[in-house]
Structure formats: structure tokens, C-alpha cells
Chains A and B, each alone.
Chain A
């Protein structure tokens, strides 16, 4: 049994009816007067949707901002890769959408494991996001008459997703990036690219700065400020293969965790149902095929296992459209966790297709017959093109082959309603926090959350801290700064000094196999217990046998990866422990011991309606569990059914 903290966590959710909470709260927050804002400095780590939007908006308000990213330009944050779209309850489609419905769908989609008040606020500000992006010149798809177009996404029965072809994330990010660049040009943001955050500086219990490594010169730098916003994205790469970019990491979040920030719900990971299947041992990443494809594509496997006919020759009566069969009211548009598990179930039962048997079909035959190839091309052309480049198959002629892959992480650093972690002055935004998606995120709502956090939440909530906290000036050579810098330097030196025989990448792959096999789409007690031991063993071997070539004072990509993989190996164990402790199935967390007779997830509200937030107690030591109980006054928990 793990140690559980006596006191429960205070989420600082304001009182009052849910519709009024955010307004009342904004009224009650302390303000920094306009002339004083320039006396405060804020560090923003990460320039994805969350960080880019935050840095630009805070600078517009007058704060001095320093922004950091590890790529060569802030425009390359992984948000760029989002394809499908962004939700908002504009109800432009006149199909019955409302803020309440978006709120309801999101709480239900997350299986009652998110904080109601946060989700309501998210649904409330979503409409302003669309307006803001249009005003920035984001070229959202439009109807012939010039109004904004919408499409449908999983887990919803209304059409509320705004999109830019298959490149929505790119366009939203470029909007935020351009706003950020404008502030850089005006001198209000100082941009530091090719910098990796290696540690958080905490002084008298308050977050006051960061240590970064300049990835070109290898130098470690100290940056101090009055508040730190960590917007560094998700940790999906702990599985090695995922749809995330190669550089995505848990390092920034993990270093904050080691300095005292609680890590919440790490086991809530999202496996996306429609990705291009794995094809070889050398494979370095997986590619997503957007959920929007399920608007028109139908998912099926042959009714007869190992049907040897050409796929296009298999007649309808021999095809099992299993999503339509099992979930008639949502059909191919069931949420991701459900679609992924259903694909796994068919493949495990021997009906999978392709060389490995680990794939199902996503078929556009009927859409092409109905609407013509041109219409389909206009909607999905770039995705079809991407698919063909990777597989050399033409999806206009043969169905796509797809399989689930790690995609998104609902877990993250614990934050209160103000997006502040338990360390005062440390704010966490975007995918890096745990807040709004519970145990499963609905499609097109991560972009919404990142931009909501950055454009419309942090600009208000950060002021309260700056206006009320005691923030004496900190010099760069303050003992705490020097100590954090030295820790980071020593860690790098130890990595370089192991001088063993195996590459960083080979360890990362091994870790990925453990995580995928035991903490993937289905988990069970003995598997998780075994995984924890395996991760420990691997970590031990890593520190004895890894080989990091080159030196610390140059651009050294092996060294960068080594630091990230070392952190993944500590973090992976926490993920497995969290999965072990949560003895229920909900959302993306499926425990084989807890399922209904029909194989659906069996949630346990009585015992597990809480956020599990873990406290670091030392390397290799058992962490302490802090609970934030969740209560649902507006969307009553029920069986989550999409039948």
C-alpha cells in the first residue's frame, strides 16, 4: 500500500453556480495596476499553443516575458502537428449546441474524472478563442457564402469543430507564434530558442526561475523571474513510439516534480484509434490519421478470420463494421478510448488484417461513391497524401490500414483552478497540466484547452499571485540558483561519464516496450507489478551501461536525448504505480480485472472519484499520494454509454 497524505488538496474552485464561478472569480482576483505590470517578469517555458498564447498575451498586458523552447524556432512546437480541429460551442450549425452541451460532453467524455468547474470555464471561453484566431488571420475553412465551416468529431452528436484543412494545429500555432513574434519585435518578450529547461529554481517555497541548457553552446544558464509558466506539452514519448514529435519529453515537468510539484493522474494516457500501424524494428515514430476521417470513413474487419480475398473483393455481408454494430447511436464516431479498445478486441480475437494482424480497415469506398472523389479529396487530401507517402498504398482505391497508438496524455502536473501548481508561482498550462480532460480527452479539445489556458485564463490568474506574493529581487548568483545550476551540470557530467556500451535510443526502445505491453490499452495487477520491477532494472542498467558520445560543451543530440530518457525512466515507474493503484477502469485506463460482461469499462465512483496527485520523496523512494476528491453537481455520474 502506498502512503496517503492526510489532508486533501484544495482546488480553490470558487463558490456559486457553475455558470457564474469564473465571472465571480475574475472579479475577486487581485489586479496588478497597468503601470506596475512592467515591474514584473514572467518566464514561459514552451511556445506551443499554451505557451505561445500565454507569452504573447502576458506581454500585451505589459509584463516582461522571457520565452523558451527547445526547437530552433517557437513556430515548431508540437502543436503544429495537430490535424483535425478545435471545438467551440458557437452553434453556427444550428444543431442544438450550447456551452452546456460542450461542458456535458467533455465531462462525460472524460468519464467523470475531471474537475467540473474547469471544464465549464473551458466551454465558456472556447467561443472567444475562435474569434481571436479569426482576427489574427487564421484561415479556417469556410462555406461558399463566407461563413465558418464545421465538422464532427468523436464523442459528440453536434458539429462544432473548426478546422483548417488537415492542418488546424499548424494554423492556430502560427497565429499564436505571430502574436508572440510581434511582442518580440516590440521588445516585450525575449525569446530563447534551442534552450532546454533542466531545473526549476524554488526559493522560500516559491518558484523564482529556471536553469536551461543552451543546446548550441552547451552552457547552462540561470533565468530568474517573478513567476514561471511551464507549458511543455505531454509525456507520450515515455512509450517510445507515439504520434508525438521526437523531442517531446517529460523533463521540464519531471524536474518540477522533483522540486515538489505534484504529478496528477499519470496513468491517464490516450491511445488514438487511427494511426498508421508499426512496420519495422527501426521505426522511430507513429503517424496519426486524424479522427476527422471517421466522419466519412467506416471501420471494419473481415467476418472470417484470415479472409484471403483482395480487400476490395470482400462483399458487405462478409464485413464486420464492428463499431456500427456495437455502438449504433455513435457508430464510427465513438470516443477514442472506446474505438481503440474495440480495435484491439477484434485483433486479439484473430480478425486483424495486414502482415502483422495488428490493423483494421478504415474505408472510404462509400463516401467516395456518395460524394465523389473530389469532395473527399478536398476534405482529407493532405491526410490521404501523407498516408500514401508512408505506406505506398492509395487510400482512394483501397481502405487504409490503421491501428491504435499512443497520442496524448491527460495526466500532468497538478494545478488548482488558477492553473497554479502546489508550488506558489509555478503555473502549468496546456497538455503539461492534468486539468480538463479527466480519464479521456475528446477530439479537438486539446487545442481548445491550450489556447484557453494561454489566452484567457493565465492573463487573469497570474496577476493575483504577482499582486499578493512577497517577491524580493533575486540575483542570478543567489545560492539556490547556483545550487540548481550545479545539480543540472553534475547530472550531465554523470551521463557523459557512464561510458558504457548501449545507445540512449536502445534504452528508450526497451522502456517503450515495457510501457506499451503493461501500461498500454489494457493493464492488470501482476503486469503492472512486473513492469515496475522491469523499469527499475532497466534504469539501473542505463546508469551503468549507457554510452553518450561527444562532450557537454557543444551541440550534442545524444546528450539531449540521454537526459530526457533518464527522466522518462523515473517517470515511467510513477505511471505504472498510478495505474496499479487505480483499481477501476475508466477512460483510457482499462484494468482487465474491472470490466462488465460485455467488455465495457467498469468504473468505481465510490472509491476512485478523485484526482491522484503524487509527491516526490526521493530517487527510488515510494511517492506519497495526495487526493483531490471530485464531486459532480451538474453532470451526474452515470454509466458512460455510446450505444
Chain B
């Protein structure tokens, strides 16, 4: 079962290390089955490079099923490629045509420095969570799970935000390289749930401050992030973040 076979030109960003100069290189790849996933296609390319005595292309990936957020890649200028609600690892080659040229780049943002080829450093996102993206409850402190009922529809919206996979596609797709959607998804989830209320004000203020400190740009409401988000996190969470932020600024004196 090999499906149709494609001959492709791959234009891939190669960069030997964090401080090295990078450049695009072209590779020809023949006989790519349309049943393959995009990353399997890169596996085949790497096998070929190895046989030719060249170094394989480095790219991040792990679960290969759209949930861990490890894979990235700008594919023809789109974060995670052309399909809606799809990570790079879920993208299939049936989406491409014989003879296509595919341009593959790493996430581009000053807060995400390139480590090698297509691999970037996204630890800035971890530091944003460190600054407040949690509920301060030590193990052992919890009341019964049913002690506080949460209306089904509230929990559903919280879950919509919580679904963020932390891949950074929102940043990569934004012309300002803003991390607003990422921050909003967490702020929104924890401000909707009663468990998050005690730290509501400090959380949003601290997370936004950390985001700025990391060098992410500001949000100008172009909604590219929503279009690129593989977990379909909506920009309505950004609206909620803004409301939370203004309320918090009113009530906290710093």
C-alpha cells in the first residue's frame, strides 16, 4: 500500500549550531508515498542523507500524534503546515502534489533561538508558567473532588483553553511574535475554575510581565495565532485575559 508517489523539492533551513550562520539548502526527494506523514517523509530524507555521508536534518518531535507539542516547523510559511487544527506530525503527504517545492523553516522569534537546523529553544514558555501558571496547592491539601460543583459549560470553556499543547505555533505565526494566545489559554482556564480564583489577579499580572520580559512582541489582534493553533484555542481567551488584566490592575497596588 504505497499510495501515489510524489517527487519533491525540499528547501530546508540548515544551521550547524546556535551561533552558526544558517542557510537554505535544496534537496530532491523521489517516490514519496502520499500515505506517509510529513515527519516520515523527513525520516526518509534523513536516511538518504546518511547514505550519502551527509548529516541528517535535526527536527524536534516525540509523540507523533499531535499532543506533546514537541514538533514545530514552518511549512511553506505556515506554522504546522496547511491543514487546520493539525500539528506537523499529523500532516500527511497526501496534502501535497507531485513536483511541489516545500520550504521548511524553524519557528522564527527572538524568544525562540535556533539550536540547530529546525530545532529551537522554547524554554521561555516554561518560564512564563513558572511565573504564575498554576494553582498554589501543595500535595495533600485538597478537599473532595466534588466539594465545589463546576457548571458543565464553564468546565468546557476552561478545557478549551487547557487544551493548549505549548508548541509555540501562535508565536511563530504572529507578525509580532507575541505569546498572547499561549498566556491567555492558561490564564483563562485558571480564572474560569473556582480553584484558580484566589491567585487570579497576581497570576495574570505576573504572567504578562514575564511574557514581556522574555522578549515576545505585543498583541495587535490579527488572529493569525488562532488560525495556526493546532489545538484550536480561540482568541476569545485573549479577550478574557485582557478583562482579567484590567480588573487585576484596578484591584492590586504594586
Contacts and interface: CB of A to CB of B under 8 A. Distances in A.
Partners in one complex: yes
Interface of A: 53, 56-57, 60, 71-76, 78, 80-81, 90, 92, 128, 130-137, 139-148, 164-165, 167, 170-171, 174, 177-179, 181-182, 184-185, 191, 193, 216, 245-247, 279-280, 282-285, 287, 355-356, 385-386, 389-390, 392, 455-456, 459, 503, 505-506, 547, 549-550, 554-558
A73 B125 contact: yes
Contacts of A550: 55-56
Contacts of A170: 67, 163, 165
B139 A56 contact: yes
Given A146-B152, A181-B126, A137 B193 contact: yes
Nearest to B86: A389
Given A73-B125, A245-B64, A245-B68, A142 B150 contact: yes
Nearest to A82: B67
Contact of A135 (B70, B94, B137): B137
B37 A134 contact: no
Given A181-B133, A280-B2, A503-B47, A80 B63 contact: yes
Nearest to A551: B55
5 contacts: A56-B139, A132-B141, A136-B195, A280-B35, A550-B56
Given A76-B69, A92-B146, A245-B68, A137 B39 contact: no
B242 interface: no
Interface residues of B, number: 79
Given A146-B150, A386-B66, A554-B17, A74 B126 contact: yes
Nearest to A392: B94
Contact of A245 (B16, B62, B141, B159): B62
B151 A90 contact: no
Given A132-B142, A389-B83, 10 more contacts: A72-B123, A75-B69, A130-B145, A179-B139, A280-B33, A282-B44, A285-B65, A389-B86, A549-B56, A558-B56
Contacts of A283: 40
B123 to A, nearest CB: 7
A34 to B, nearest CB: 13
Nearest to A162: B145
Given A135-B141, A182-B130, A76 B135 contact: no
Nearest to A77: B68
B138 interface: yes
B121 interface: yes
A247 B189 CA distance: 30
Contact of A134 (B16, B39, B195): B195
B121 A72 contact: yes
B195 A137 contact: yes
B122 A73 contact: yes
A142 B155 contact: yes
Contact of B1 (A181, A280, A557): A280
B129 interface: yes
B142 A135 contact: yes
A228 to B, nearest CB: 20
Contacts of A549: 50, 53-56
B10 interface: no
B100 interface: no
B126 A246 contact: no
A136 B129 CA distance: 14
Interface in B96-131: 115-116, 119, 121-123, 125-126, 129-131
A136 B134 contact: yes
A182 B134 contact: yes
Interface string B155-169: 100110011011000
A170 B139 CA distance: 19
Contacts of B145: 90, 130-131, 133-134, 140, 148
Nearest to B17: A554
B90 A389 contact: yes
Contacts of B90: 386, 389-390
B129 A178 contact: yes
B4 interface: no
A182 B199 CA distance: 13
Contacts of A554: 16-17, 116
A506 B44 CA distance: 11
A414 B122 CA distance: 36
Contact of A505 (B17, B43, B158): B43
B150 A284 contact: no
A176 to B, nearest CB: 10
A447 to B, nearest CB: 14
Contacts of B190: 137
B2 A246 contact: no
Contact of B70 (A57, A71, A92, A285): A71
Nearest to A459: B139
A141 B153 CA distance: 10
Interface of B: 1-2, 16-18, 33, 35-37, 39-40, 43-44, 47, 50-51, 53-56, 58, 60-70, 83, 85-86, 90, 92, 94, 115-116, 119, 121-123, 125-126, 129-131, 133-146, 149-152, 155, 158-159, 162-163, 165-166, 189-190, 193, 195-196
Contacts of B140: 128, 132, 455-456
B73 to A, nearest CB: 14
Contacts of A92: 146
A139 B189 contact: yes
B129 A287 contact: no
B40 A247 contact: no
Given A282-B44, A390-B92, A76 B1 contact: no
B49 to A, nearest CB: 8
Contacts of B92: 389-390, 392
Contact of A76 (B70, B85, B143): B70
Given A60-B138, A72-B123, A141 B68 contact: no
A280 B189 contact: no
Nearest to A74: B126
Given A246-B62, A390-B92, A284 B37 contact: yes
Given A71-B62, A92-B146, A557 B56 contact: yes
Contact of B149 (A145, A178, A247, A557): A145
A282 B40 contact: yes
A424 B177 CA distance: 49
Nearest to B119: A555
Nearest to A56: B139
B152 A279 contact: no
A30 to B, nearest CB: 19
B209 to A, nearest CB: 13
Contacts of A455: 139-140
A181 B135 contact: no
A386 B230 CA distance: 12
Contacts of B55: 549-550
Given A181-B130, A389-B90, A78 B63 contact: yes
Given A71-B62, A131-B145, A146-B150, A284 B195 contact: no
Contact of A72 (B64, B67, B70, B144): B70
Closest 7 CB pairs of A and B: A146-B149, A178-B134, A135-B142, A185-B130, A131-B142, A134-B145, A139-B159
A73 B162 contact: no
A60 B133 contact: no
B135 A128 contact: no
Contact of B64 (A53, A284, A505): A284
